[in-house]
Chain A
Amino acid sequence: MTRTPGPFRLVALALAALALAAGALLLAPERASAQVPPTEEQAQAIERQLLCPICTNERLDVCSIAICNDMKRIIRERLAAGSSPDDIMLFFEGRYGQKVRADLKAEGFNLWLYGWIGASVLAVAAAGSWYLLSLQRRTRPAVEGASMHQPPSGDGNETPDDAWLDEQINSGEDRES
């Protein structure tokens, strides 16, 4: 069994350091964008989270049919009357159904989708790890002199990659070190 944890630890440390640096930067204060008055900005943010109830998959903020113009008006009226963005979303959801939400609520039946996503990623990760580990268990120790794997059976007349080029690159790198 061959183990080469050293370089991986090095890479992991480097990546962790990068992640930390990125995290630290995030703590720095955001620049405020003050071009649009707060309510208009809020209204447009809500519009972007809603879809036109009639056109398919068209965002409310770029749709211009009458029903959408009404919805945009209602958003502003309700915001002015003190409703929260969540209340406004719920209002439209009650009126037109869940399909007007651009994002999918992570609750109830919808959790099945998140379950599927999680299961897909986990299954692929598990299958991948199992495969790689099982390959490593079957490893034959490297034999001096038998360095390159011969192309398996077939017609034996293939050159999948340019071996000459590889050698040149490797020898160049060796000289460098």
Chain B
Amino acid sequence: MNLVATLGAAALLTALAAAVVAILASVVAIRRHGPARHDPTAVAVARRAVFAVAGLTSLAFALLWYALMTNDFAIAHVASVSSTNMRPVMKLASLWSGQPGSLLFWTWMMSLWMAAFAWFTLPKMSWGAPHALGTIGAVIASFLVALVFFASPFRLSPITPADGQGLNPLLVDPGMLIHPPFLLTGLVSTVIPFVIGATALMAGRLDNAWVRHARGWALGSFVVLSVGNILGGWWAYTVLGWGGYWGWDPVENSAILPLLPLTAFLHSVIVQERRGMLKSWNLVLVLAAFALAVFGTFNVRSGLVASVHSFAQSEVGPFFLVLLGLVVLASVALMAWRLPMLRAEYEFESLASRETGLILNTYVLVAMALVILGGTLFPVFSELFRDVRVTVGPPFYNDVVGPLLIVTLLLMALGTVLPWRRATPGLLRRRFVLPLAVTAVGLVALAVLGMRDIFALAGMAGVLLVAAVTLREYAIGTRAVRTARGVSWPAAFGALFNRDPRRYGGYLVHLGVIVMAVAVIATNVYQDRTRVLVSPGETFEAGGYEFEFHDLATRRPGVDGIEVDIVAQVTVRRDDRVVANLEPGRRFFTNFPDQPVAIVAVDGSLRRDLYLFVQGWDNERLTEIQAFVNPLQQWLWIGAGVYVAGGLLAFAPFRSRRPVEVESSAPSGAQPV
């Protein structure tokens, strides 16, 4: 008997039992005392059951890690994703790679988020505690069923191999230590706003109470999911070796899809708080974010849409399809049931108001989500209905999503510049003249400098407008605080974030977005690509640089299943000055001889990235090298840093500033559930 495998399987099975206890106890709590007061004992039991699930899945996760560290190849999953010569640090990547591993990580992370929610937020929303705990129990139980019955990470191999197969070559990269955890964590974290929204619907508590609790969790989810997506782009850029960072691959699309309704929610929630509008829309957005996260999981697991990321396919696909169907059905049914209670407390005064800007922007984000979803699923329909395999690739998305992104930028400026309720013509003129003038001057300057591409110019118009509008907001805010308090400029600027962190942190996210937009425009429109065949000693030119190819060299790291690295030694010069010595190449793995991966060599600066990779060579060492000059590439990561910093600033004070809930009886109109 394998002790680790037995203990692990037992932990997961017990966790499933605890999840079922949470569901049953919630039902008892609701049944026994009606909607206004729930049975406190039953609620406490359900809450502790949620903590138990988190503890047990943590145990299972720790056991799998232990099995990987001790090379316990009797466990099939361990044998399939690790080998004796892998460094301990890379075994972390093995932990969440492959089907069962990533599913265990997903479930473990979800149970931790749920426990945190049950610990911090649940005591403040006693109006819906059993509904929330029941929903949590149902969701986590579904994933545990998948883990226990369909993809157990503790299944034993029929024969214990002497050594494991090792990690999939594409995953043997330090990026794999941080990208998947962030992405998976971001995806699972959408469950908390979903639980809160569903609770509000079930408990019939549809005022602003649920929104106040959901927005902090949604913001946290937004930040983590954004980081996951950004790290994904970074991994693609440094590992996949095609010169870009975003390929509109079905799995990339799945990862970004939940982010769109989540972003929309963070904006439309402000309208509900300020104006009492968009109540049902906000619910739709949180429900949709989680449904899309489950869709993403299903998409990756099932291999439904062929993808470069399909290294985790298995038979759990149909199970997730059923789960997705249940989530969507339950959401629609709940919404339909409570629709009569979701009337807005209208006080809409003018179309020329910030409300309009924010509402329109949420619509564009949702339209974008629908477009990406359509593009992602279309190959499936094409194969289903007429048996033809098609690819919906970057040209399609660039044509369709590109313009929507530009509209988003323009609306971002509009939502920032317009005041709440109504704008008088005088105010509009005052607020718009400067930003429009800056935009016009900037565009003319760019055109004079040689920018001709219509996409680039339209994008830059949006960028300049948002920049001017946002910086103006910071300026007038700082000046107002300075005048009122008589403090210095820096102190007044700092005080802005203290007084209204969500607004000014949010503006920082906007600034991050436009810095990233500049990088996206530059790298898409002005990338310089050169492909050459060179013999040792020859030179070639690309983007104003001279590249000298010395020779091919061999390296043997001797770890992580790597057989050999073959690299091209290249010296880069500009005006006879050495800029960089780069070693792009290809990496070959012992257990995956026909899956060599690219070794990308990058010399980065604020102005441009020199990005080299080797495509192949012949017996005469005639080597095919691709050289990309990616202008302003580093600004993508800098902008991402600003974006994340803004998100964190908006998020950080949410706990200390959150008002204490005053217990009140159930609102009128609430119905027993």
- List the interface of chain A (C-beta within 8 A of B): 2, 4, 6-8, 10-11, 14, 17-18, 21-22, 25-26, 28, 30-31, 35-36, 44, 49, 51, 55-59, 61-62, 64, 69, 97-104, 109-110, 112-113, 116-117, 120-121, 124-125, 127-128, 131-132, 135-136, 138-140, 142, 147, 149, 151-155, 157-162, 164-165, 168-173, 176-177
Are A139 and B454 in touch, CB under 8 angstroms?
no
Please judge, given known A-B contacts A2-B422, A18-B461, A109-B388, whether A149 and B452 are in contact too, CB under 8 Å. Answer: no
Which residues of the partner chain A approach B481 to less than 8 Å between Cβ atoms?
Answer: 165, 168
In the complex, the answer to whether B447 meets A56 with C-beta atoms within 8 Å is no
Taking A2-B422, A18-B461, A139-B349 as contacts, is the C-beta distance between A59 and B370 under 8 angstroms?
A: no
Contact between B392 and A104 (Cβ–Cβ < 8 Å)? yes
A124 and B363 within 8 A (CB): yes
Q: Is the CB of A173 within 8 A of B430?
A: yes
Decide: A121 and B440 in contact? CB cutoff 8 A. no
Max chain B Cβ within 10 angstroms of own Cβ: one of A99, A140, A171 = A99
Judged by a CB distance under 8 angstroms, whether B484 is at the interface is yes
Tell me the smallest distance from the CB of A67 to a CB of chain B, in Å. 13
Show 30 residue pairs from A and B whose CB-CB distance is below 8 angstroms, ordered by the A residue.
Answer: A4-B350, A4-B425, A7-B352, A7-B425, A7-B432, A14-B436, A18-B440, A25-B452, A56-B306, A62-B241, A69-B616, A101-B390, A101-B393, A104-B390, A109-B385, A113-B378, A120-B371, A125-B363, A127-B363, A135-B277, A136-B348, A152-B207, A152-B276, A157-B659, A158-B208, A160-B273, A161-B503, A162-B499, A168-B484, A171-B480
**B37 interface residue per 8 A CB criterion:** no
A residues less than 8 Å from B394 (CB atoms): 102
Give the Cβ gap from A167 to chain B, nearest Cβ, in Å: 9
Tell me which residues across on chain B come within 8 A of A64, comparing CB atoms: 615-616, 624
A5 vs B43: C-alpha distance in the bound complex, in angstroms?
55
Classify chain B: how many residues form its interface, as a range.
35 or more
Of all chain B residues, which has the CB nearest A113? B378
**How long is the Cα–Cα vector from A61 to B531 in the complex, in angstroms?**
9
Q: Is B664 an interface residue (CB 8 A)?
A: yes
Residues in B409-454 with C-beta less than 8 Å from chain A: 419, 421-430, 432, 436, 439-440, 443-444, 447, 450, 452, 454
Contact (Cβ within 8 A) B274 A161: yes
- Please name the residue on chain A nearest to B501 by beta carbon: A162
In the complex where A128-B360, A139-B349, A160-B274 touch, is A57 in contact with B249 (Cβ < 8 A)?
yes
A106 to chain B, nearest CB (A): 10
Min distance, Cβ B588 to any Cβ of chain A, angstroms: 13
Q: Is the CB of A31 within 8 A of B395?
A: no
Across-interface contacts of A127 in B (CB, < 8 A)? 363
| C-alpha spacing A170/B346, complex, angstroms | 24
Q: Known contacts A117-B400, A165-B499: does B389 contact A11 (CB below 8 Å)?
A: no
Residues on B with beta carbons closer than 8 Å to the beta carbon of A164: 499
Q: Name A122's closest neighbour in chain B (CB-CB).
A: B367
Is the beta-carbon distance between A58 and B276 smaller than 8 angstroms?
Answer: no
Q: How far is the CA of A158 from the CA of B660 in the complex (A)?
A: 9
Q: Residue on A with the closest CB to B616?
A: A64
> Beyond the given A161-B503, A169-B480, could you list 13 further A-B residue pairs with CB under 8 A, ordered by the A residue number?
A4-B423, A7-B429, A22-B457, A56-B306, A57-B391, A104-B392, A110-B378, A113-B375, A142-B422, A147-B421, A151-B208, A161-B274, A173-B427
Q: Which residues from A are CB-within-8-Å of B613?
A: 62
- Give the contacting residue for B349; candidates A8, A113, A142; CB below 8 A: A142
| C-alpha spacing A47/B92, complex, angstroms | 38
Residue in chain A with minimal CB distance to B276: A152
Asked if B661 is at the interface of the complex by the 8 Å CB criterion, the answer is yes
| Contact call A121/B425, Cβ cutoff below 8 A | no
The chain A residue with its CB closest to the CB of B362 is A128
Per the bound structure, the CA–CA distance linking A136 and B249 in Å amounts to: 42
B residues near A8, Cβ cutoff 8 Å: 351-352
- Does B87 have its Cβ within 8 Å of any Cβ on chain A? no
Q: Is B479 close to A, CB under 8 A? A: yes
**What separation, in Å, do the CA atoms of A92 and B136 have in the docked complex?**
51
- Closest A residue to B243 by beta carbon equals A62
B374: nearest chain-A partner, CB-CB: A116
The answer to whether the Cβ of B157 comes within 8 Å of any Cβ in the partner chain is no
B359 part of interface (Cβ distance < 8 Å):
yes
Cβ of A6: which chain B residues have Cβ within 8 Å of it? 425, 428
Expressed in whole angstroms, the Cα–Cα distance for A122 and B149 within the complex equals 44
Is B160 an interface residue, CB under 8 A from the partner?
no
Residue B333 CB within 8 A of the other chain: no
What CA separation (Å) do A172 and B461 show in the bound complex? Answer: 28
The residue on B at minimum CB distance from A170 is B419
Measured in the bound complex, the distance between the Cα atoms of B351 and A128 in whole Å is 12
Q: Tell me whether A57 and B307 are in contact (CB under 8 A).
A: yes
- State the CA gap A112–B348 with chains docked (Å): 38
A177 to B, closest residue via Cβ: B430
Q: Which residues of B contact A17 (CB under 8 A)?
A: 440
Contacts of A120 in B (CB 8 A): 367, 370-371, 374
Whole-angstrom distance between the alpha carbons of A176 and B430 in the complex? 9
Asked, given contacts A104-B391, A164-B499, A165-B499, whether A172 binds B483 with beta carbons under 8 Å apart, the answer is yes
Flag if B351 contacts A132 (CB, 8 Å): yes
| Residues of chain B in range 311-351 having any CB-CB distance to chain A below 8 Å | 344-351
Tell whether, in the assembled complex, residue B247 and residue A57 are in contact, meaning their CB atoms are under 8 Å apart: yes
CB closest chain-A residue, reference B249: A57
Q: How far is the CA of A136 from the CA of B374 in the complex (A)?
A: 33
Residues of A within 8 A of B637 (CB): none
Contact: A62 with B209, CB < 8 Å?
A: no
The reply to whether A10 and B428 contact each other, CB–CB distance below 8 Å, is yes
B359: A residues at CB distance < 8 A: 128, 131-132
Q: Which residues does chain B contribute within 8 Å of A131, judged by CB atoms?
A: 359
Q: CB-CB < 8 A to A31: which residues of B?
A: 450, 452
**What 0/1 readout, one digit per residue, does chain B (473-489) give for beta carbons within 8 Å of chain A?**
00011011101100000
Is B123 engaged at the interface, CB distance under 8 Å to the other chain? no
Asked whether, in the complex, the Cβ of A14 is within 8 Å of the Cβ of B207, the reply is no
Output the least CB separation between A8 and chain B (Å): 6
Q: Which residue from A25, A103, A117 sits with its C-beta under 8 Å from B395? A: A103
Are B371 and A121 in touch, CB under 8 angstroms? yes
Is there contact, CB below 8 Å, between A22 and B308? Answer: no
> Contact between B386 and A109 (Cβ–Cβ < 8 Å)?
yes
- B642-658, CB under 8 A of A: which get 1 and which 0? 00000000000000000
B6 at the binding interface (Cβ < 8 Å): no
B480 CB contact (under 8 Å) in A7, A138, A172 = A172
Kindly list chain A residues whose C-beta atoms are within 8 Å of the C-beta of B360.
Answer: 128
Contacts of B477 in A (CB 8 A): 165, 169
> How far apart sit A26 and B130, CA to CA, in the bound complex (Å)?
62
Residues of the A chain whose Cβ atoms lie less than 8 Å from the Cβ of B624: 64
With a CB–CB cut-off of 8 A, which chain B residues contact A98? 388-391
**Residues of chain B lying within 8 A (CB to CB) of residue A153:** 207-208, 667
Q: Which residues of A contact B422 (CB under 8 A)?
A: 2, 4, 142
Which of B307, B345, B356, B393 is within 8 Å of A51, CB to CB? B393
Find chain A residues with CB under 8 A from B616 CB.
Answer: 64, 69
Residues in A neighbouring B386, C-beta threshold 8 A = 109
B242 contacts the other chain (Cβ, under 8 Å)?
A: yes
Q: Is the CB of B483 within 8 A of A168?
A: yes
Instruction: Say whether A25 contacts B447, CB under 8 Å.
Output: yes
B555 CB–A CB distance under 8 Å = no
Residue of B nearest to A141 (CB): B349
Please name all residues of chain A whose beta carbon is closer than 8 Å to the beta carbon of B662 when the two chains form the complex. Answer: 155, 157
Partner of A99, one of B391, B427, B432: B391
